[in-house]
Each structure stands twice: as C-alpha cells, then as structure tokens.
Amino acid sequence: MNAAAMLARARANLVRVEPEQAERLLADRALLVDIRPYANRLAEGEIPGAVIVERIVLEWRLDPHNEFRLAGLAEDSTVVVLCNEGYASSLAARDAQELGLRNATDMIGGFRAWKAAGLPVVRGGSPAVP
C-alpha cells in the first residue's frame, strides 16, 4: 500500500465537510480540532474556537473512553479535524472513528481552505492542549 491508497481508504468512511459546513458545526457546538504544527499556526493563524491538539497525543485526547480525553468528549460528539490542506486530517479522523467517535470527520482543504473562504482567523501561536 502507498500513501495515496491509505488516504483513499481513510476517506471511504468519512463524510467530509467544507469549511462553511465546519463553521456551522462549530457554532452548533461541534469540536473543531486543529492538529497543525505550531510553526504553521504561528505563521498562518488559527480558527477561533478550535481546540489545538498536537498529533502526538491525538488518540489519547480523542478516545471517548480514555481518562485523558478532551473534556466533554463522548462517543456521539461531533468532531471535525483539520490540518493544513486536508490530508493528515483525513487519517486522524479515521483514527478517531476507530476509537469510537462515530461522528468524527475532517475538513476538506484544511485551514488554508477555511482562510481562503474568508472565514474568521485569529493570530496564531496558541499552546496546544497538554
């Protein structure tokens, strides 16, 4: 298997959302999870209301049965993962589904598509959830 096949397999079970849909979901209390590296967030900005989770601890924060999960996270939580352009987030959303988050997905085009759509962006560099 190569990376393209792995990505296609991950996306097969995702109902991916456009940035405008992600904004509406965020307004409806969905969890928007930004997994971009600090350098990208610092240089390009962040989405107001998104929760920043380093990729290295993502599974522990998104496991609805783990003591280290994000506050309020449950199996029926709506979770939208985003990265720079929507590739790594597809793999992360697949992992979240495998952990039991049946409403996990990712955002098509990632942060850059959000910004290009003219949606709200704030200065970056916020710390990640520990």
pLDDT digits (tens, 9 = 90+) for 58-89: 999 999 999 999 999 999 999 999 999 999 99
pLDDT number for residue 9: 96
Tens-digit pLDDT profile for the chain (130 aa)?
A: 899 999 999 999 999 999 999 999 999 999 999 999 999 999 999 999 999 999 999 999 999 999 999 999 999 999 999 999 999 999 999 999 999 999 999 999 999 999 999 999 999 999 999 8
The span from the CA of 85 to the CA of 79, in Å, is: 17
pLDDT number for residue 6: 93
3-state secondary structure of 7: helix
In this structure, how many other beta carbons lie within 10 angstroms of the beta carbon of residue 43? 11
The span from the CA of 61 to the CA of 24, in Å, is: 23
